[in-house]
Amino acid sequence: MKTYEDLPSDGGSNIMDQVIDQREQLRRRLDQIKHKVCLMSGKGGVGKSSLTANMAACLVLRGHKVGILDADLNGPSIGKLLGVSNQEKLEITPEGVEPGQGSMGIKIMSMDMLLPSADSPVIWTEGKDATAVWVSTMESTALQELLKDTIWGELDYLLIDMPPGSDRIDNIRDLIPELDGVVEITIPSPISQHIVSKSITKNSQLGVSIIGLVENMATYVCPHCNQEGQLFEGEDVEKLSKDKQIPLLGRIPFDTRMSRQTGTGKLFIEEYGDSVTGQAIAQVVDNILKFIQNKSN
């Protein structure tokens, strides 16, 4: 397969210059962001987006400037979690698109903000015979547009909320080669651990740095007495961590308050930071920061 660089002529369409301009614009955006971290799971339903939102808030509480790219193009939820409605009009300037401002000033960009209504699906083609390759190409292009057209400004951390599936890391890796690493998220169930194990293996084979493993919904915490109980049956996540030779960043108990808006409109970590779950999230964030600091030294 030939690349653009292999073509002797573009027929006057100036494709090469357009591609180069897009790459340079993407590079300018990314150069203003100190650290980029992916949060992925391989499997849906493990609470990854809620964790991403609250980890971002935890970073803000530590004095960092933070943004979130919702890379789950077909099932975006970061906007809703951070209180940014898709009805809010994006401000388009000559410099690009201003990101949404979520809770605690977290900058966000999500496909949800580009859709006409909250229940509008993302449709990549009007036809019924779109191939997986075509859809993957469209998704990669969309991610590039979201990254390069958004005026992120200077950020300490950009968290990338990945969609389910281990194959999606390919697009991000191509767009952000300096990625600090990925955080793999699982729950105690055997199926989840089986699938996240595949994701870890793939990232290792690709040479993607794995920051560590997080076990979400590790236990159930009673919001009244703070006592913990078993939520899922499954193998100890420490075994998976040891087998894959990656750090276990933390085990986060399930708290029913994580899944609903607080009375003040704040994120869970703001309202219940002293809870068992809040402290567990903070510990995971501290371990991520230590990993990045050690990697930078």
Residue 279, domain member (yes or no)? yes
Q: CB burial class (10 A; 0-12, 13-18, 19+) of residue 157?
A: buried
* pLDDT tens per residue across span 87-98: 667 888 989 999
Contact 104, 271 (CB under 8 A): no
Short-list 214, 201, 210, 227, CA closest to 50: 214
Residue 57, domain member (yes or no)? yes
Q: What CATH number should be reported for the domain holding residue 56?
A: 3.40.50.300
**Residues with Cβ < 8 Å from 274, sequence gap 6 or more?**
none
Predicted confidence at residue 131, as pLDDT, reads 56
* pLDDT tens per residue across span 16-28: 666 777 889 999 9
Q: What average pLDDT score do residues 44-61 get?
A: 94
Residue 20, domain member (yes or no)? no
Residue 262, domain member (yes or no)? yes
Tell me if residue 123 falls in helix, strand or coil. Answer: coil
Residue 127, domain member (yes or no)? yes
For residue 102, which phi and psi values (nearest 5 degrees)?
Answer: -90, -170
Predicted confidence at residue 2, as pLDDT, reads 43
pLDDT class for 183, splitting at 50, 70, 90?
very high
Predicted confidence at residue 87, as pLDDT, reads 64
* pLDDT tens per residue across span 238-286: 999 999 999 999 999 998 888 766 555 689 999 999 999 999 999 999 9
Q: What percentage of residues in the chain have a pLDDT greater than 90?
A: 50
pLDDT of 4 over the 50 cut? no
Q: How far, in Å, are 1, 3, 122, 159, 162 from residue 131 at the CA level?
A: 18, 21, 16, 29, 21
Token pair 């599936």 is found at: 165
Angle of CA points 224, 234, 169, to nearest 5°: 100
Residue 4, domain member (yes or no)? no
The total of structural domains in the chain comes to 1
Residue 88, domain member (yes or no)? yes
The domain of 44 spans 30-296
Residue 268, domain member (yes or no)? yes
Short-list 102, 109, 110, CA closest to 56: 102
Angle of CA points 254, 256, 258, to nearest 5°: 80
